[in-house]
Amino acid sequence: MSPTAAGARTWLTEADCDLEAFRSLVEQSTDPARHPSAERIERNVPLYDSERLRDLADTSQGRRRVQDELARALLDGPGIFVLKRAFTDATAVDGMSEVFRALIKEERATGTARGDHFAKPGANDRVWNALDKVAVRAPEVFADYYANDMLALICEAWLGPAYQITSQVNVVNPGGAAQSVHRDYHLGFLTQERAAGYPAHVHRLSPVLTLQGAVAHCDMPVESGPTLYLPHSQKFEPGYLAWRRPDFVEYFDGHYVQLPLDKGDAVFFNPALFHAAGHNRSTDIRRMANLLQISSAFGRAMETVDREAMANALFPVLLRRKDEGVSEDWLRRVVAATAEGYPFPTNLDLDPPVDGLAPPSQADTVWQAVTEGWSPERLRQELQAAAKRRRS
């Protein structure tokens, strides 16, 4: 990672937040030679054509080359890229949008509608924990959506296997104000004092535990307020102590980048990138995005997700699609988005390692059920028993 004014210190303070050092990072130009698979570089952001990436990643070696390029873009490149036409099946996106709208309507009616982390309450329509809400109420829609190959490609590139998807719906209505600039989870959700209590190596670690993404569920011209971001800002080591400072906020407000998106496009970025949802200046566009926060197997996801309920809801769909002839990769991507892929923490007295160093994960059990054609009731019993074994 590029050097900063903080150098190699063990502890960071606000005194390390040198705006000139920050500017030297964010005012560099993105080098097209480092993004040979990109369709183009626009305002320092690589734009990739997803169909081309699918062709390039058609072999195991090609897949690794593409993933290497995407991971480097997030780590020591601009920290962000756009996948054009990541979701080519409009039916999958529109079906998910319908479920989202129904959830928003229900939560408004019951008074459980929620606000936002970085915007005034009421500016947006937000659905928390959308992942398991959709899985349980519309498993067919969920499967068609989360079988997406581009999503799995970048999740594995940044986080490796056993990643944990969570999803929050965000709808910014006409007139909805922009968010304040911020960095994201983990350290981005701490106060200045608490963030400063973590050593510098944890500040470097935090971003690689999470992948931030957003799928456009409608066309998003600039006037509708697509995300504002500052390429290369993820490389500023004391950035978790800098993003609230007035001088850094002022700089962001004068230099951010904003690109339009089409329905089905997806943007992925390093959570340490300075960013904010934009101001919806349109009169008739309800800007809907599925915000994806994907966690490493070795991190803690922000939301509690009932993956046992999700797996039981999805299992009949997986069996039916298997019988219809979908590919093994398709099935594996849905299982990865549904079940917990990491076997720890557990109670090793009751759940000891089997044929290796770890007990089977929830995803291992679901995959065995799919391949062996278990009954839904057998899977339900096995998942309940496994959950019981993990309790202290």
Nearest alpha carbon to residue 228 among 248, 246, 254: 254
Confidence of residue 360 (pLDDT cuts 50, 70, 90): very high
Nearest alpha-carbon partner for 261 in 294, 229, 215: 215
Average pLDDT value over all residues in the chain: 94
pLDDT tens digits, one per residue of 207-239:
999 999 999 999 999 999 999 999 999 999 999
pLDDT of 142: 98
**How do the domains of the chain map onto residue ranges?**
14-295, 307-390
Q: How confident is the model at residue 9 (pLDDT cuts 50, 70, 90)?
A: confident
Query: Which of 4-8, 11-15, 125-129, 321-325 has the least mean pLDDT?
Result: 4-8
CA-CA distances (angstroms) from residue 355 to 159, 322, 336, 352?
Answer: 25, 28, 22, 10
Distance CA 223, CA 215 (A): 18
pLDDT average, residue stretch 191-200: 97
Q: Average pLDDT, stretch 87-101?
A: 97
pLDDT score recorded for residue 111: 80
Residues 6+ away with beta carbon under 8 Å from 70? 48, 81, 153, 154, 157, 158, 268
Per-residue pLDDT averaged across 294-309, rounded?
96
How confident is the model at residue 124, as a pLDDT? 78
Position 114 scores a pLDDT of 58
Instruction: Judge whether 363 and 336 are in contact, CB under 8 Å.
Output: yes
Q: What is the mean pLDDT of the segment spanning 294-310? A: 96
| Average pLDDT over every residue of 268-290 | 96
Predicted TM-score (pTM) above 0.75: yes
pLDDT class of 169 with cuts at 50, 70, 90? very high
Please, what's the b/e burial string for 303-328 (b: 16 or more CB within 10 A of its CB; e: otherwise)?
eebebbebbbbbbebbbebbeeeeee
- pLDDT-derived band of residue 354, with 50, 70 and 90 as boundaries? confident
Q: Which pLDDT tens digit goes with each residue over 67-80?
A: 999 999 999 999 99
What's the pLDDT score for residue 178?
87
pLDDT of res. 122: 55
Bridge partner list, 288: 171
pLDDT band for 355, please (50, 70, 90 cuts).
confident
Q: Give CA torsion, residues 312, 316, 322, 326, to 10 deg.
A: -80
Residue-level pLDDT at 2: 44
- Interhelix angle 90-110/130-137, nearest 10 degrees: 100
Taking residues 161-183, report their average pLDDT: 94
For position 146, what pLDDT does the model report? 98
pLDDT bracket for residue 293 (50, 70, 90): very high
Higher pLDDT, 333 or 112: 333
The reported pLDDT for the residue numbered 121 is: 54
The pLDDT score that the predictor gives to residue 110 is: 87
CATH class given for the domain over 14-295? mainly beta
